[in-house]
Amino acid sequence: MIARDLLGLGMPWTEEVASMLAIYAIGFGSLSAWVRSEHLVVDLFSHKLSGLGKNIQYRLTALISCGFFALAAWGAWIMSDMSANNKTVSLSISFSYLYYGIFFSFVGMALIALWQTLRGPVAWLETSHEEEVSQP
C-alpha cells in the first residue's frame, strides 16, 4: 500500500502471486488435514457400532471419499486444460498453474483415501480420539 499510494510504484503482479500461493497453501493444507483425519465430520451413530461395524464404516467412507476426490481431480485437470491459453494479466502465466494446485491436492487426497480403504483404521487415530474425549 505504501509503495502504491505514496511512492506511485504499484506492483500488480503481487495479487496474482498471492492468489497462486493461497490456492497451493489451501490445497496442501487440506491434504495435510486429510492425512491426520482432522477434517470436520458428523458422527451420529458410529459410537454404537461394533469393532467390525466401525471398520466397515471407515473403509466405506474412505472409498466414497476416494471417488469424490478422483472426480474433483478430474474436474481440475479438465479446467487446467480448458484454461491453458488464458494468461494472467501481469505475469502472463497460464491459469493452468492455478488449477494444478487444486489437481495435485485432490489427487493426493484420493490416493490417501484409497490407502485408507485398503489398510483400514489405524491405532493412533483411535487413541487420540479417546484422549480428546477423556479430557475435561
* pTM score, whole prediction: 0.75
What pLDDT score was predicted for residue 46?
A: 76
What pLDDT score was predicted for residue 8?
A: 67
Cell of residue 108, nine digits: 493426493
Cell of residue 94, nine digits: 497460464
Number of alpha carbons in the 13 Å side-chain half-sphere of residue 7: 7
User: Residues of the chain whose pLDDT is less than 70?
Assistant: 1-4, 6-10, 42, 123-136
* Domain residue extents for the chain: 21-134
Residue 74 near residue 30 (C-beta atoms within 8 A): no
Cell of residue 70, nine digits: 478422483
Please provide residue 122's backbone torsions phi and psi, each rounded to the nearest 5 degrees.
-110, 155
